[in-house]
A and B are shown apart, each in its own frame.
Chain A
Amino acid sequence: MGVILEVKNLTKKFGGLTAVNDFSFEIKRGEFIGLIGPNGAGKTTVFNLISGFEKPSSGRIRFNGIDITGMKPYKIVNLGIARTFQLVRSFKYLSLLDNITVSCLSKRGKEVSKKTGTDNYASSILASVGLIDKARIPPIILPHGDLRKLQIGKAVGTNPELLLLDEPFSGLSFEEQLGITDLIKKLHADGVTIFITGHVLRELMTLVPRVIAMHQGKFIADGPPVQVANNKIVLEAYLGRGVKIA
């Protein structure tokens, strides 16, 4: 159970605005961990920094002992960190199968798909996210829930060690949320370390054994969900200053 991801003193400034401020945490291999905070807390920025879509102003990120600070996104993916986006992204004129195939053609994806063949591998992933019956259609006509699944499928295709899921539940109905939850649990059971964000506390509470809370770019709490949920600062962050919790 070594440390898989180590984030130290991470800071990101956009002009005058500090989106992430001196943020540090560690994730151990095989963990299932959540990042919570109200809207605008900087969760997505943290993910962008880890996955290389933005470069930190200062601070260090280490993955499996390798310094990945400021690396290009695809290199980070090829080291084993995959991510999904809060706003769904898909290759809208490619079939679902091809959407997954692209990931399977990445460096790590290829290592796995070599044995079974890219198409088979992609189909198996598509099957595992429950979209195999729609393999030939393009994503533009899919419902939102399926797009979320596709996102996860695309991330899984790169054969990640660490999976960053940015708000995987947003905009979904309750049934759809359940489906996604099962999927994530299954992935975790397969040995993927999962790091998940959410701004609705309740969604994550039952799912993850550990959460990190942040507010206005700052670290505020780390621990089991129940403990964090009762943290005074967290509550203030969510409900506003001065609100008394009875």
Chain B
Amino acid sequence: MLNLKIVKEKMNEFPSYLKSWVKTFTGSLTIFCLLILFVMPFLSANQSFTHVFLRQFSLAMIFAIFAASWDLLTGISGQISFGHAIFFGISGYICAYLIKYQSFPIWISIIISTVVAVFFGLAIGFPLLRLKGPYLALGTLAMSLILLKLFLMGSLADWLFGSEGISALPGLAATPVIEYFILFIFMILTFVILIQISKSKFGTILKSIRDDEVGSDASGINTTKYKIYAFMLSSFFAGLAGGFYALYIGAVNPTGNFGTVLSFFAILMASLGGLATISGAALGAFFFIFLEYALIEIGVVEIGNLAIDFGLYKFAIFAVILIVIIRFAEHGILKPLLERLKDLWDLLLGR
């Protein structure tokens, strides 16, 4: 699948490739965003900034990785998953268990838990991939609910830690700024890898399976094999995000790590940004996290006698925004946004 020679060639032309990419509109916009993200932690040393605001960025980055992994599986490969929290949660639990009860170092725990998530991807993908479309969606949803309920049971608490899970884990890093940069690097890595995959021949095959599985089969592609690859790759990054999330929180518990709501977070973020774009997942995640942040920040607004507590109504407001966005921008907000911006930019330059 991977041809070393081609990779070498690509590496050789990398600088020029990069140069031409930077010159494109999306390229320069991406660089601009990355630069902003890079300088962000240096803007203020205020605790309120580093420990509250930056941490929201870190959270958004974790969810960006998670949502991008979902986008690879569903947006690119067309395998609808409603149970992505399986990998997220399993990895978080393994990571927490290894650190807390086996005293493994943090990074080794993350690596092991991610690998375990991949095995789960294999184990769950293998039987479930016979299903198509909404059936697969329900199958994965059911799988995640089974895990959730098993982990929740008080009578199994001796084995699965019960509803209270594992707590008092060390943080990912000593300060939020270091944590921010670790996640920043991993987010960039994830996105570079996932975008490259989606653009590669391998990605083309995955997309062909999404568009027409029978046709792909007729083109001599072993679709099952590629779907399992997609499942494993996706669960790898979901697992990575899950491990980071466990350490970000410092604890794991069934609802918080296996909950259906997390699977839906991934779906919402990825589809807000735009399905099959990968980078849309990042936009969706940041939008999602900061909308909530902003609504809490706005707090109570009094208009005449009417007091609207945006903090309290945040989920209702969020639901409305979600419905409106999906209703009027079915393909997410990233692509249309970029196109409009590009049009404006071209106009500005007089093109």
Q: Do chains A and B touch in the complex (CB under 8 A)?
A: yes
A residues apposed to B, CB below 8 Å: 51, 53, 72-75, 77-78, 82-83, 85, 89-94, 98-99, 101-103, 105-109, 118, 154-155, 157-158
Q: How far is the CA of A103 from the CA of B214 in the complex (A)?
A: 13
- B 189-223 binary contact with A (CB < 8 Å = 1; else 0): 00000000000010011011011101111111111
| A98 pairs with B220, CB closer than 8 A | no
Q: How far is the CA of A80 from the CA of B221 in the complex (A)?
A: 13
Residues of B within 8 A of A91 (CB): 207-208, 211-212, 215-216
A227 to nearest B CB, angstroms? 33
| B220 pairs with A82, CB closer than 8 A | yes
18 other A-B residue contacts (CB within 8 Å) besides A77-B219, A89-B214, A158-B219: A72-B217, A72-B222, A74-B217, A74-B221, A77-B220, A82-B218, A85-B218, A89-B218, A91-B208, A91-B216, A93-B276, A94-B204, A98-B207, A102-B208, A102-B219, A103-B220, A106-B219, A108-B220
B198 to nearest A CB, angstroms? 12
Q: How far is the CA of A72 from the CA of B224 in the complex (A)?
A: 11
Residues of A within 8 A of B220 (CB): 74, 77-78, 82, 103, 106-109, 158
| B212 pairs with A92, CB closer than 8 A | yes
| Other-chain contact of A90, B210, B212, B221, B222 (Cβ < 8 Å) | B212
| B221 pairs with A106, CB closer than 8 A | yes
B27 to nearest A CB, angstroms? 19
Q: Which residues between 83 and 128 of chain B lie within 8 Å of chain A, taking CB atoms?
A: none
A44 to nearest B CB, angstroms? 13
| A94 pairs with B207, CB closer than 8 A | yes
The chain B residue with its CB closest to the CB of A102 is B208
| B219 pairs with A154, CB closer than 8 A | yes
Contact of A74 with B222 at beta-carbon distance under 8 Å, contacts A91-B216, A102-B205, A118-B201 already known: yes
Q: How far is the CA of A106 from the CA of B226 in the complex (A)?
A: 12
Q: How far is the CA of A71 from the CA of B218 in the complex (A)?
A: 13
A136 to nearest B CB, angstroms? 14
| B207 pairs with A51, CB closer than 8 A | no
Contact of A93 with B218 at beta-carbon distance under 8 Å, contacts A101-B201, A118-B201 already known: no
| B207 pairs with A93, CB closer than 8 A | yes
A72 to nearest B CB, angstroms? 8
Query: Can you list 14 A-B contacts (CB < 8 A)?
Result: A53-B217, A53-B218, A73-B217, A74-B222, A89-B215, A91-B211, A94-B207, A98-B204, A102-B204, A102-B221, A103-B219, A105-B221, A106-B221, A157-B219
Q: How far is the CA of A157 from the CA of B210 in the complex (A)?
A: 19
Residues of B within 8 A of A75 (CB): 222
| B211 pairs with A94, CB closer than 8 A | yes
| A83 pairs with B211, CB closer than 8 A | no
| A74 pairs with B223, CB closer than 8 A | yes
| A105 pairs with B204, CB closer than 8 A | yes
Identify the 3 closest CB pairs spanning chains A and B, nearest first: A106-B220, A77-B220, A91-B211
| B215 pairs with A101, CB closer than 8 A | no
| A102 pairs with B216, CB closer than 8 A | yes
Residues of B within 8 A of A107 (CB): 220
Contact of A93 with B222 at beta-carbon distance under 8 Å, contacts A101-B201, A118-B201 already known: no
Q: Which residues between 213 and 246 of chain B lie within 8 Å of chain A, taking CB atoms?
A: 214-223
A51 to nearest B CB, angstroms? 7
| B212 pairs with A73, CB closer than 8 A | no
Residues of B within 8 A of A82 (CB): 218, 220
B101 to nearest A CB, angstroms? 45
The chain A residue with its CB closest to the CB of B223 is A74
Residues of B within 8 A of A103 (CB): 219-220
Residues of A within 8 A of B207 (CB): 91, 93-94, 98
Residues of A within 8 A of B201 (CB): 101, 105, 118
Residues of A within 8 A of B216 (CB): 91, 102
The chain B residue with its CB closest to the CB of A109 is B220
Residues of A within 8 A of B217 (CB): 53, 72-74, 77
The chain B residue with its CB closest to the CB of A138 is B211
The chain B residue with its CB closest to the CB of A110 is B220
B46 to nearest A CB, angstroms? 47
A64 to nearest B CB, angstroms? 16
Residues of A within 8 A of B223 (CB): 74
Q: How far is the CA of A101 from the CA of B201 in the complex (A)?
A: 8
Q: How far is the CA of A77 from the CA of B223 in the complex (A)?
A: 13
Q: How far is the CA of A94 from the CA of B219 in the complex (A)?
A: 14
Q: How far is the CA of A106 from the CA of B215 in the complex (A)?
A: 12
Residues of A within 8 A of B222 (CB): 72, 74-75
The chain B residue with its CB closest to the CB of A118 is B201
Residues of A within 8 A of B205 (CB): 102, 105
| A154 pairs with B204, CB closer than 8 A | no
| Other-chain contact of A73, B210, B218, B276 (Cβ < 8 Å) | B218
The chain B residue with its CB closest to the CB of A91 is B211
| A77 pairs with B208, CB closer than 8 A | no
The chain A residue with its CB closest to the CB of B222 is A74
